[in-house]
Amino acid sequence: MIKQKIYNQKGEVISEAELSDKVFGQPANEALIHQAVVAQMSNERLVLAHTKDRSEVRGGGKKPWRQKGTGRARAGSSRSPIWIGGGVTFGPTSNRNFSKGINAKMKRQALRIALSDKVASNQFAILDELNFSEYKTKLFDSIVKNINDKAFSAAKRSVLVLETLPEGMTKNSARNLTGVKLIGIDNINLVDILKYRHVVATKKAVDAIEERYKN
């Protein structure tokens, strides 16, 4: 078991928690992390660029001039790629598929390794709770600042906050903060964990993560 300090919203240490080795004590595996990141980013990729080839461009059904006798080069369609207004040769199309498959066990293990690295690097903190009485970005900002200063002693803020199920008041209060992202454990993903330098999770979120990823 790994011992980890629990902070309140003021950044004060109030108790200790024991983290499961099965989730937060896994050895590093860079190859697996790389494979999982590539798969996630590829599956999120949007295919927007699309060009039309000569068969898709409107018009060009009539032969521009007869085959022989004009002295000009033969032409079968005014939508040939060498004509102005013609189709594009070998251009990007929207039917490209960049998705990559990865086993569920590999994906879960990559997430465990990423969380374990944060804990081992002292870049992981536990918050007792996120409690808001009103919609205030300043309140959330002060909580993040307290944890960032006292738990991490970091000059630049880059914090991923994990909550079991972010409610409207909590979610909206964190929306406009630079360098801060709030997500629920249902949306926890490898890219966000690696993107943000520090991870702050509520005690309930830690318990839910251990329950979900222990096997």
Do 125 and 140 belong to one domain?
yes
User: What b/e readout covers 104-114, taking b as 16+ CB neighbours within 10 angstroms?
Assistant: eeebebbbbbb
Beta bridge partners of 3: 18
Q: What is the pTM of this model?
A: 0.84
| Res. 152: pLDDT tops 90 | no
Mean pLDDT of the chain: 92
| CATH code, domain carrying 142 | 3.40.1370.10
**Phi, psi torsion values for 158, nearest 5 degrees:** -150, 90
Do 124 and 90 belong to one domain?
no
The whole-number pLDDT of residue 173 equals 84
Tokens 């205030």 sit on residue: 136
Helix or strand run (H / E) with residue 194: helix 190-195
Do 140 and 209 belong to one domain?
yes
- Sorting pLDDT into bands at 50, 70 and 90, what band is 193? very high
User: Computed from CA positions of residues 24, 197, 3, 130, in that sequence, does the dihedral angle turn out positive or negative?
Assistant: negative
Domain housing 89:
47-97
Helix (H, G, I), strand (E, B) or coil at 189: coil
Count of other CB atoms within 10 angstroms of residue 205: 23
Number of domains in the chain: 2
What are the tokens at 4?
């980890």
The whole-number pLDDT of residue 132 equals 78
Do 61 and 157 belong to one domain?
no
Do 39 and 55 belong to one domain?
no
Strand order across the beta sheet in which 198-202 lies = 13-19, 2-7, 124-127, 198-202, 159-163, 180-184
Helix or strand run (H / E) with residue 105: helix 104-120
Do 40 and 51 belong to one domain?
no
Do 114 and 167 belong to one domain?
yes
Do 139 and 79 belong to one domain?
no
Do 80 and 114 belong to one domain?
no
Tokens 């697996």 sit on residue: 32
> Which residue, of 97, 117, 135, is where some domain finishes?
97
> Which residue, of 97, 121, 139, is where some domain finishes?
97
Percent residues over pLDDT 70 in the chain: 100
Do 92 and 127 belong to one domain?
no
Q: Provide the total of helices (H) and of strands (E) in the chain, helices listed first.
A: 7, 6
The whole-number pLDDT of residue 134 equals 79
Show the beta-strand stretches assigned E in 21-114: none
Do 130 and 151 belong to one domain?
yes
Contacts of 6 (CB under 8 A, 6+ apart): 13, 14, 15, 16, 17, 126, 127, 128, 203
Do 184 and 121 belong to one domain?
yes
- Sorting pLDDT into bands at 50, 70 and 90, what band is 45? very high
